[in-house]
Chain A
Amino acid sequence: MRLSCLQENLSRGLALVSRAVATRTTLPITHHVLMETDQSRLKLSATNLELAITTWVGAKVEQEGALTIPARLLTDFINSLPSEQVNMELTPRPLGIRFQCARFEAHINGTDAQEFPPIPTVEEGVTARIDPQVLRTAISRVVFAAATEETRPVLTGIKLEISGQQFTLAGADGFRLAVYKGPLLDLAPEDAEAIVPARTLSELQRLLVDQDEPVELVITPSKSQILVHLKGVEIVSQLIQGTFPNYAQLIPQSSGTRAVVDLQEFSRAARAASIFARDGGGIVRLQIIPGGDGTSGKMVITSSAEETGDNLGEIDAKIDGDEAKIAFSSRYLTDVLSIMERGEVALETTTPSSPGVVKPVGNEDYVHVIMPMFVQW
């Protein structure tokens, strides 16, 4: 293998794939990055066995070949080089690659490419195309609601549904549920669904930042893998097997009280309350009080901790329905408020022990359900 490419392209490529390099593993080869010539490009791949990221770097290939190199070492070394052409040549003994750039020369030992775990290839499946910024928003709205503990593996994933002209992402951790619906760019050829690891979507969200071309998702017919095509990058991820809760029936269809408030005000009050809630086990209490004659309605947000003190915040609210009370884990409340976009949000409740629903006003694309804390009022 003999080739050359520009240091900045190689550096960018390595930064992309290194997100998939395993951090804690019993399989040392997964600490490596696979370097492979692919026609007139250099193909870089990394995998932690759940997620694989592949990208291509423009290169001048003189001789074909492949080798794996420790990812961290290679990335650190390439990043320290000047922004010039990097020449690479495979050396058989000791097996490795000799790098030369400007007046730097280095040799890094590698391992035979045959030993690298095969990156799954996805040949066919249900394909959907989504606008990259729509997908990025969708992921940001649901991914934090997924469970982080492995006690129920399906809940560490995000349910992806493709149907007609629409896709749905849903995440839940047993106490809250986030559902986002967005448009597909083309009519889906057939309905499909999968449970994608939340970690995969977090990585995808990061890669989507500077994307402007449509993103292509392909779910294999066996529902074991999903392939995501971005410009110059391919992500293949294992899917989580199992049955995701039937989330549609967990979203209340009606409510006794609906309070519409300004997101920024609500956010500020919730954050202030969460400071006091830390010691008190993270409970934030909300009281929704409809306005009387001539006075407007309000929402009162309180929290207290025996050792620290207590806090009360009031915000204006437009209220439909009766007075209501509900208590939430402060983290659940601040989590959802922090990912919503400015404007108005609605909080819908019925009783202190039935779910609270947070929605943007004037937009049906997002629903967030939080189960309350059962407290003494």
Chain B
Amino acid sequence: MPIRVLSSQLAARIAAGEVVERPASVVKELVENSLDAGATAVSVEIRGGGLELIRVVDNGSGIPTGEAELAFHRFATSKLPLDGNLDSITTLGFRGEALPSIASVSNVLLVTRPADQPGGVVVEVAVGDLIRTAPHGSPPGTSIAVRDLFQNVPARLKFLRSPPAEATRVQTVLHQFALAFPGVRFHLDVDGRASFTSSGNGDLRDACSAVYGTKTAKALLEVISESDGINLIGVHGLIGPPDVSRASRSYINLLVNRRWIQSRALTYALEEAYQGFLMEHRHPLAVINITVQPSEVDVNVHPAKLEVRFLHERDVFATLQRAVRGALVALAPVPNVRSNFASSRPSSTTTARPLEGHQSQQALSLFAPVEGTDTTYTPRGIVPSLRVLGQVQSLYIVAEGPEGMYLVDQHAAHERVLYEKVRREISDRAPQSQGLLESVVVELPAILEESLEAHRDEWTMYGFDLDTFGPHSYLLRALPASLKDADPEEAFRSILEEVGRGESKIDWEEKMVCSIACHSAVRAGKTLSREEMESLLLQLEASDQPNTCPHGRPTMVHLSAAHLQREFGRR
């Protein structure tokens, strides 16, 4: 076949494939246009999962009558000045592709009026062909209706999911916008029913409340790292305390200059900051906006602009991690003891029937723990004031402190203390190694032997003195001093199994320190004397991150005075 230039219609349909993947991407593009037009209220309506109808109505600047038709031309945009500079983009869109792409795969009806014009205009486009342009009455702003999406792309239709599933994706997009633009009021109607509304009052916590519920929003911790003269990177947002975690990463919202993005690297940086705060396979909830100079970031990596590249990536990651970690240590409160109020207070169960939409969030707040005061106590803040009362189940230290009772998990707390101790010893290159009275011969299966040999020198650095003792056997002559109360062979074997080869050096070291701490720590089930308990709390007080054990379990929980009073019917 000879080489031909594609017809403009065909080219548009191919381009649409990249930008307009599914109804949610149409909504994303249209809402971005609304936001770039300075809208403060954006209302979205969808029917049939967005395939029948997507309507986006905003109160933005509108399109002047003379330019409305032009908007449907490819690479036509008002967002870049003539000979504009792609290095300093401040709008969400700029490529001039979205509207023509959408119009090429659907029927679009655009009604718009700038506030300073007496009348508006209607433009109708059917599958890429202009049907009519006519004067039309309209409130200020733009209303755009997209019908019969993908009618001319049957292949795409086949890959769409059910209308409810597509509607959920649309809702997710609206959630992302609501979190990125707390100053804009968003509303979503699905098949004639209101499914989501944000207040648009500019408060990020209120936006989180609309998306994730009041109780969760209330618990979130504020992260602030202002850009200063030297570091031009700002980090602002709300993050979940360690006890508000999720089983998937889909609750991590990363924004760059208010643009919702996907970034494995930034997500990794965030999760690293949570290292030791969350249990394995749990992920944080976060809404974080990273502000960088527009010239420092390239958003033009992909037509949908979900990926970005930073000029100074390391600085961005470091700033994000520092800010998040700082907030966690400084603000994460001692988690409260949760109780099932529905079962403990029979009278309330009648109101606990399922409700729909955001109403259920209000209902939930009835069951939120009663706060005695608004003061929250961080482990760092309260440990020094704890008074040991006793021990429960040879496992938890019971202590009295400000605003009620605190339970400290003796193993988790000791693990934290030892973890930091071992870390310090290693960084000082002074591991404390205690010789064994009787050297222990340990025979290892091939797989463990391989793990050991992969890091042979490091094992010595951590205080294990090992000699090769014939095939597959080793002579263990000394142990890290912390492990003194453990059975040497058993501890060595368990640590070797837990640590394995490690995915990377950092991963291996982290596992090693965790494992030594875990096997050295006072076991659950050991009865402690009062002196031992007090000494443990003193050590915890001195630790850098007393909130959690190295695996992310909390070291302590709080049973508030208010909670006790309510349980005893005192109020």
Contact = CB atoms under 8 A, between A and B. Distances in A.
A250 B433 contact: no
A373 B435 contact: yes
A375 B433 contact: yes
Given A24-B527, A374-B478, A175 B487 contact: no
Contacts of A245: 437-438
B477 interface: yes
B437 A175 contact: yes
A17 to B, nearest CB: 24
Nearest to B484: A175
A355 B432 contact: no
A306 B490 CA distance: 32
B139 interface: no
B80 to A, nearest CB: 59
Contacts of B465: 353, 374
Contact of B437 (A177, A281, A353, A376): A177
B429 interface: yes
B435 A151 contact: no
Contacts of A283: 432
A369 interface: yes
Interface string B423-448: 00100111011111110000000000
A298 interface: no
Given A281-B481, A329-B481, A353-B477, A374 B435 contact: yes
B429 A371 contact: no
A371 B440 CA distance: 14
Contacts of A371: 434-437, 478
Contacts of A152: 487
Given A175-B434, A175-B435, A250-B438, A151 B477 contact: no
A177 B438 CA distance: 10
A176 interface: yes
Nearest to A174: B437
A376 B438 CA distance: 22
B430 A375 contact: yes
B524 to A, nearest CB: 14
B439 to A, nearest CB: 10
Contacts of A373: 432-435, 481
A374 B430 CA distance: 10
Interface in B381-438: 421, 425, 428-430, 432-438
Interface majority SS (helix, strand, loop, mixed), chain B: mixed
B436 A374 contact: no
Nearest to A307: B542
B463 interface: yes
Contact of B434 (A24, A329, A355): A329
B430 A174 contact: no
Nearest to B486: A151
A369 B487 contact: no
Interface string B478-498: 100100111110100000000
B540 to A, nearest CB: 16
A355 B439 CA distance: 12
A262 B436 CA distance: 28
Interface in A347-365: 353, 355
Interface string B505-531: 000000000000000000000010000
B387 to A, nearest CB: 23
Interface centre among A24, A173, A374 (most CB of B within 10 A): A374
Given A151-B487, A329-B481, A374-B465, A176 B430 contact: no
B544 to A, nearest CB: 14
A169 interface: no
A173 B527 CA distance: 20
A144 to B, nearest CB: 15
A172 interface: yes
Contacts of B488: 174
Contacts of B429: 376
A152 B487 CA distance: 7
A177 to B, nearest CB: 6
Contacts of A173: 437
Given A149-B485, A373-B433, A374-B463, A174 B438 contact: yes
A267 to B, nearest CB: 22
A47 B429 CA distance: 51
A372 interface: yes
Interface string A172-190: 1111110000000000000
A24 B432 CA distance: 35
A175 B486 CA distance: 12
Given A24-B527, A281-B481, A372 B487 contact: no
A245 B484 CA distance: 17
B432 A375 contact: yes
Nearest to B440: A174
Contacts of A306: 428
A172 B488 CA distance: 14
A174 B463 contact: no
Contacts of A375: 430, 432-433
Interface in A218-249: 245
B435 A376 contact: no
A283 B480 CA distance: 13
Contacts of A355: 435, 437
Interface centre among A174, A355, A371 (most CB of B within 10 A): A174
A177 B436 CA distance: 11
A284 B436 CA distance: 17
Interface centre among B430, B435, B436 (most CB of A within 10 A): B435
A374 B437 contact: no
Interface in A264-314: 281-283, 306
A176 B437 contact: yes
27 contacts: A151-B485, A151-B486, A151-B490, A173-B437, A174-B436, A174-B438, A175-B435, A175-B436, A175-B484, A176-B437, A177-B437, A245-B437, A245-B438, A329-B434, A329-B481, A353-B478, A369-B437, A371-B478, A373-B432, A373-B434, A373-B481, A374-B434, A374-B435, A375-B430, A375-B432, A375-B433, A376-B430
Given A151-B486, A152-B487, 17 more contacts: A172-B437, A173-B437, A174-B436, A174-B488, A175-B436, A177-B437, A250-B437, A281-B481, A306-B428, A329-B481, A355-B435, A369-B437, A371-B437, A373-B432, A373-B434, A374-B478, A375-B433
Interface of B: 421, 425, 428-430, 432-438, 463, 465, 477-478, 481, 484-488, 490, 527
In the complex, the 8 A-B pairs of residues with the closest C-beta atoms, listed nearest first: A371-B435, A374-B433, A151-B487, A149-B485, A281-B432, A374-B478, A372-B435, A371-B437
Interface of A: 24, 149, 151-152, 172-177, 245, 250, 281-283, 306, 329, 353, 355, 369, 371-376
